[in-house]
Amino acid sequence: MNELKSSLVYEKDVQSLAMDFLTVAQKAAIASYPWIGKGNKIEADGAGTEAMRNQMNLIDMSGLIVIGEGEMDEAPMLYIGEELGTKKGPEVDIAVDPVEGTTMMSKGQNDSLTVIAVSTKGSLLHAPDMYMHKIAVGPKAKGSINIDASLTENMKSVAKALGKDIKDLVVMIQDRPRHDHLIKQVFDAGAQVKLFPDNDVNGSIATAIDHIEGDILVGMGGAPEGVIAATALKSMGGDFQGKLAPQDQEEYDRCVKMGITDPEKALTLDDIVKSDDCLFVGTGITDGLLLKGIQKPSDGLIKSHSFLTVSGNSEKYQYIEAYHS
């Protein structure tokens, strides 16, 4: 009985942090906004990182950065292992990217945003900064994917789950030469490719949103971004699988050092996010697939556009427009 009570309290604790982390994401995106199109992604990322860290330290929690700006000797703030918060609240794992899409943002291009994933302590995969093979779908296709199968097999399975003909399937793939073989499989199956330039967090989440065209995301991208996207999809009832792709022995050994004993193992959603008590929030910096960017209307206020999904809520997700002085 006590164990059940503890579990229920923990779920409430994670949910109760949602508005706090929404504020964190908004502050970080607004701090990065002046650097749009200025060609300096280091300054842009630094502004977002500092604002994010300062705001998180105000939250009543014992937070641990498990995915952040790098190791302690590489990053002065939001480094892996940094403890944040007032130490008075729930214990949580935090994965962040203050400016996802820094290069695009520095060039004034679309699809950059601030992203944060939060879950109960010890539940998020401590993914090294390396490549990960990924496949993601929304709630209607949950349970129909297998990262060890070919894309052709996965397309057939997802189409069946969605009640679609395979030729009506829309497959989201990042536009990179390493994905040419995947694009060919989509064309050969008669399905539709939807290429995007960067930021596969957006693409993964889009598979779970009805008004955005995209049934399945596949490809190889950053492992930290994979954990963040997986957290969002778990909150939304979707599905995600990944497989780390170390490029050399050094990367392989780093996985083992971080506690991943079999770095090339296929990872299910429950392997990546072990708890059902989690949340994701993103705030747009520039306009993109998922969100509008920061705007400055003529009334002098700053307008932000955010996306929030919290496990256990009756609402699968919320879009939030806010005005800031």
Alpha carbons 59 and 63: distance in angstroms, whole number:
9
Question: Does residue 311 sit in helix, strand or coil?
Answer: coil
Residue 199 marked as a ligand binder = yes
Residue 74 marked as a ligand binder = no
Residue 225 marked as a ligand binder = yes
Alpha carbons 203 and 208: distance in angstroms, whole number:
9
Angstrom CA distances, 276 to 10, 12, 140, 242, stand at 11, 12, 18, 18
125 DSSP 8-state letter: -
Residue 54 marked as a ligand binder = no
Alpha carbons 257 and 141: distance in angstroms, whole number:
34
Residues in the chain, total: 325
Residue 239 marked as a ligand binder = no
Alpha carbons 18 and 263: distance in angstroms, whole number:
32
Residue 97 marked as a ligand binder = yes
Residue 101 marked as a ligand binder = yes
Task: Name which of 218, 246, 220 is nearest 133 in CA terms.
Answer: 220
Residue 177 marked as a ligand binder = yes
Residue 168 marked as a ligand binder = no
Residue 153 marked as a ligand binder = no
Residue 200 marked as a ligand binder = yes
Q: How many CB atoms lie within 10 A of CB 90?
A: 22
List residues forming the annotated binding site: 45, 69, 97, 100-102, 131, 176-178, 198-200, 222, 225
List residues forming the annotated binding site for substrate: 100-102, 131, 176-178, 198-200, 222
List residues forming the annotated binding site for Mn(2+): 45, 69, 97, 100, 225
